Amino acid sequence: MRLQWTQDLDIETRGHWATMEELLEVGTFHLPRYENTVKTCRTIPGQVNPSDLTFATKFVAVYLFIKVKGSRPMTYQYLTVVMVRTAKENGGFIDQRKFKTSSKYGFDSLILTYASMQVFNSYINFVRPLLKPQCEFALVTRNGGQHSKLGDVMSRLVFDAIGKYIHLTRYRQIVETQSLNQLTSKEQRILSEDQKHSSAVAKVHYQKQRSREVAVMAQGCLQKLQGAKG
């Protein structure tokens, strides 16, 4: 199935396109299991199923991709616990320009809303410690190491929820397509520029403006597109 997915990426092919409404169902579908896992981790950690711990990491990654930003996997792969906790004191802002390895994979800043901070903190405070982390990175594997396959995680959990194969590039295309009908021209430009994190144009754009301001505006546009407030 994975080989077929890799080879067949035509957006007209059934199963390779979804609406924003369908993508938002992914979080709704998986949320009960995540909440139950966090509750078990908090109250009776000795009885947590290892597969649920692994799932919790996957859920947080997919939540970030859909609700925060459809960024490159490495953006979330290299987020550290310190960066997330500092963001809480900085209005949810994470400035990747200050991250020592950001130049290796392109510039990208994030805004964590109150809701996304709640999800991330529940993972860091209750789930992550049970994975016995051996590194500083926020999202870790069952062995406690840095998670390096977040892109695959996105595709798998979306497929499990809505039966469609949506990879990150496709997700960004869906966002831009739907923005044509729901956002103003100015909002479309902001969101489009924010998504083009790997291009030289976007990097120059960020350098000319305060990255926090741009990230805040882009997050607002995404929330409007999703019909969300939190």
Q: Identify the residue with better confidence: 201 or 219.
A: 219
Residue 143 lies in a domain: yes
Residues making up the chain, counted from first to last? 230
Residue 10 lies in a domain: no
Percentage with pLDDT > 70 across the chain? 80
The set of residues, in sequence order, having a beta carbon less than 8 Å from that of 186 and lying 6+ positions away, is: none
Q: DSSP code of 12?
A: T
Residue 11's pLDDT band, with cuts at 50, 70 and 90, is very low
Residue 118 lies in a domain: yes
Q: Which two tokens stand for residue 111?
A: 């805004």
Buried b (16+ CB within 10 A) or exposed e, 139-165: bbbeeeebbeebbebbbebbbebbebb
Q: Determine the residue type at 115.
A: A
Q: Which backbone phi and psi does 200 adopt, to 5 degrees?
A: -65, -35
Residue 137 lies in a domain: yes
Residue 229's pLDDT band, with cuts at 50, 70 and 90, is very low
List beta partners, residue 111. 93
Residue 52 lies in a domain: yes
- As a whole number of angstroms, the distance between CA 99 and CA 77 comes to 13
The set of residues, in sequence order, having a beta carbon less than 8 Å from that of 96 and lying 6+ positions away, is: 75, 102, 107, 108, 109, 110
Q: Which residue has the tokens 């979330």?
A: 76
Mean pLDDT of 153-165: 93
List beta partners, residue 140. 146
Q: Which two tokens stand for residue 112?
A: 């964590």
Q: How far is CA 71 from CA 76, 106, 151, in A?
A: 8, 10, 10
Residue 30 lies in a domain: yes
Mean pLDDT of 175-181: 86
User: pLDDT tens digits for 25-76?
Assistant: 999 999 999 999 999 999 999 999 999 999 999 999 999 999 998 888 888 9
Q: DSSP code of 199?
A: S
- As a whole number of angstroms, the distance between CA 40 and CA 32 comes to 12
- As a whole number of angstroms, the distance between CA 177 and CA 224 comes to 14
Please check the confidence at residue 92 and state whether its pLDDT lies above 50: yes
List beta partners, residue 137. 80
Q: What is the pLDDT of residue 162?
A: 95
Model pTM score? 0.83
HSE, CB side, 13 Å, CA atoms: give it for residue 2: 5
Residue 220 lies in a domain: no
Residue 182's pLDDT band, with cuts at 50, 70 and 90, is confident
Range of the domain at 96: 18-167
HSE, CB side, 13 Å, CA atoms: give it for residue 213: 6
Please check the confidence at residue 210 and state whether its pLDDT lies above 90: no
Residue 229 lies in a domain: no
Domains held by the chain: number = 1
